[in-house]
Amino acid sequence: MIDWDSWPTYGLRSAEKAAKLSSTLAALTRHHYERCAPYRAILDARNSMASLGEGLETIPFLPVGLFKFEELLSIPKDQVAKVVTSSGTTSQQVSRVFLDRDTAGSQVRALVMILQEFIGKDRCPMMIVDHPSVIRDKTSFSARAAGILGISNFGRFHKYILRDADMSLDLDALSDFLEAHKGRPKLMFGFTFMVWRYLYQELHRLGHHPDLSEVTLIHSGGWKKLQDIAVGNREFKTALSELTGMRRIHNFYGMAEQVGSVFVECEQGVLHTPAYADVLVRDPSTWQPLPNGERGLIQVLSVLPESYPGHSLLTEDLGEILGEDDCACGRLGKTFAVFGRLARSEVRGCSDTHAPAAGLG
C-alpha cells in the first residue's frame, strides 16, 4: 500500500518528511476508518474526519490503553498471522495487536533499516540477556518475545545467557561465548531492567569483570523499575562501562502497539525519529501540540500499521522534543527525550512481565 521503504531512514529534511508522512498517515486513517468499525465509531463521535487535513497534528489519535479493552483490527480475523501482546503484571490487562503477514513483514523491514544505521549491516555473534523459552510460541507472543525475535535478525550464533529455571546468569555460557568470538565485534540485546538486574548486578555481586569492550548493547524498556531505585540512563551506561569496558550502548523507545517503529538513541544520547515515524508532544490538559522544549504527552505516529489502527497513538509517557535536523550525529529527523509515565497512569513496559526480586522494584 505504501512505498515507505524507499525513504532514506534518516535522510529526509523536515518539510519533505512532513509532506510524505502527512499524506500517508491521512490515507491510513481513511483505510482504517473504512475497515475497522470500532475505530470508525470513535472517529465519528469526535467528528475527526472533518478535521483531517495536511498537517501531522490533524491525524486523529487513539489512547494507547484502548488496545487493552478493544479488539481493533482492519482485516478479517482469518488473515491474522500473529498476535502481539503488551507486557504487564499478572493483575494488569494487556494490549492485543493483530498483525497480518504484510504488516508483520513491514515491521521487520523497518526495524532492520533503523538498527543498521547504528550497528551496521554485518550480522555479529549475539548474546541475549534472557532465557530461550520466552520465544517458544511464534504465533502469539509478548512484546518481550517480539523484541528478541526482531533484534535476533541482526545476529548469528545466538546465545541466551540466562537460565530457564530461575533467570540466573549462566557465567559459563557468557565466558564460552566471549572466548569463542574473541577479537570480533559482538552484539548484545536485552530489556533494560533485565540487563541491570540479571547481568550487571550479578557480575557486580560476583566481582566478575568480563571484557565486553567489543560488544554493542541494544536495550529498551523497564526504566520505571530502575527509576524506583534511582538508576537513570547516564548511571546505567557508566556502571556497565566501568564494570565491563562496554562503550557502545544504545537505548531505544518503542511499544508493542507500534512494533518496528523504534526510536533509537544516537551517540549524542538523544532519541531519533526515522523517516517513516514521528512524534508530537501534546498538552495533557488541552491535547494541543506543544512547541519544542515543552514537556507533555508523547504521540507516536507510524506508517507501518495497516492491519490495525495503530498508526497514531497517544502514549502515557511524558516527553519533550529537543530539535529537528540539527543533531551533531548527522542524522536528520526530530530528536526527543522521554521522562517517564504521567503520574497515576498504569506502569507498563516490555520487561515488566518478569517480576523483580524483592527490594528491586
The domain tally of the chain equals 2
Residues 129 and 14 in one domain: no
Q: Residue 357: inside a domain, yes or no? A: no
Sheet of strand 82-85: strand arrangement: 96-99, 82-85, 140-142
Query: What pLDDT, on a 0 to 100 scale, did the predictor assign at position 223?
Result: 62
Q: What is the pLDDT of residues 134-187, one digit of tens each?
A: 777 555 556 677 778 778 888 899 999 999 878 899 999 999 999 999 999 999
Residues 275 and 228 in one domain: no
Domain coverage including residue 113: 105-254
Q: What is the pLDDT of residues 43-101, one digit of tens each?
A: 999 999 998 988 999 999 999 999 999 999 999 999 999 998 876 544 468 889 999 99
Residues across the chain: 361
Q: What is the pLDDT of residues 331-342, one digit of tens each?
A: 999 999 998 888
Q: Residue 272: inside a domain, yes or no? A: yes
Q: Residue 26: inside a domain, yes or no? A: yes
**What's the average model confidence in pLDDT over 188-211?**
93
The last residue of a domain, from among 203, 230, 254: 254
Mark residue 135 as left, alpha or beta (left: phi above 0; alpha: psi -120 to 50; beta: remaining). Answer: alpha
Q: Residue 82: inside a domain, yes or no? A: no
217 closest CA partner among 175, 181, 245, 254: 245
Q: Residue 91: inside a domain, yes or no? A: no
Residues 158 and 47 in one domain: no
Residues 226 and 179 in one domain: yes
Q: How far is CA 271 from the centre of its chain?
A: 11
Residue 265 carries which DSSP code?
Answer: B
Residues 248 and 286 in one domain: no
Contacts of 209 (CB under 8 A, 6+ apart): 203, 243, 244
Residues 113 and 241 in one domain: yes
Residues 156 and 241 in one domain: yes
Percent of the chain predicted with pLDDT > 70: 88
Domain with residue 227: its CATH number is: 3.40.50
Query: What pLDDT, on a 0 to 100 scale, did the predictor assign at position 266?
Result: 94
* C-alpha distance from residue 285 to each of 271, 282, 288, 289 (Å): 25, 9, 8, 11
Residues 69 and 158 in one domain: no
Percent of the chain predicted with pLDDT > 90: 68
Query: What pLDDT, on a 0 to 100 scale, did the predictor assign at position 1?
Result: 57
Q: Which residue has the higher pLDDT, 260 or 343?
A: 260
Query: What pLDDT, on a 0 to 100 scale, did the predictor assign at position 90?
Result: 43
Residues 229 and 182 in one domain: yes
Query: What pLDDT, on a 0 to 100 scale, did the predictor assign at position 355?
Result: 42
Confidence (pTM): 0.85
The last residue of a domain, from among 254, 287, 319: 254
Q: Residue 353: inside a domain, yes or no? A: no
Domain with residue 45: its CATH number is: 2.30.38.10
**What's the average model confidence in pLDDT over 105-133?**
91
- Cell numbers for 250, please give them: 544504545
Q: Residue 319: inside a domain, yes or no? A: yes
Residue 225 has pLDDT above 50, yes or no: yes
246 closest CA partner among 181, 188, 176: 188
Report the distance separating Cα 172 and Cα 168, nearest Å: 12
Q: Residue 80: inside a domain, yes or no? A: no
Other C-beta atoms lying within 10 Å of the C-beta of residue 347? 15
Report the distance separating Cα 287 and Cα 297, nearest Å: 8
Residues 284 and 193 in one domain: no
Q: How confident is the model at residue 222 (pLDDT cuts 50, 70, 90)?
A: low
Residues 272 and 243 in one domain: no
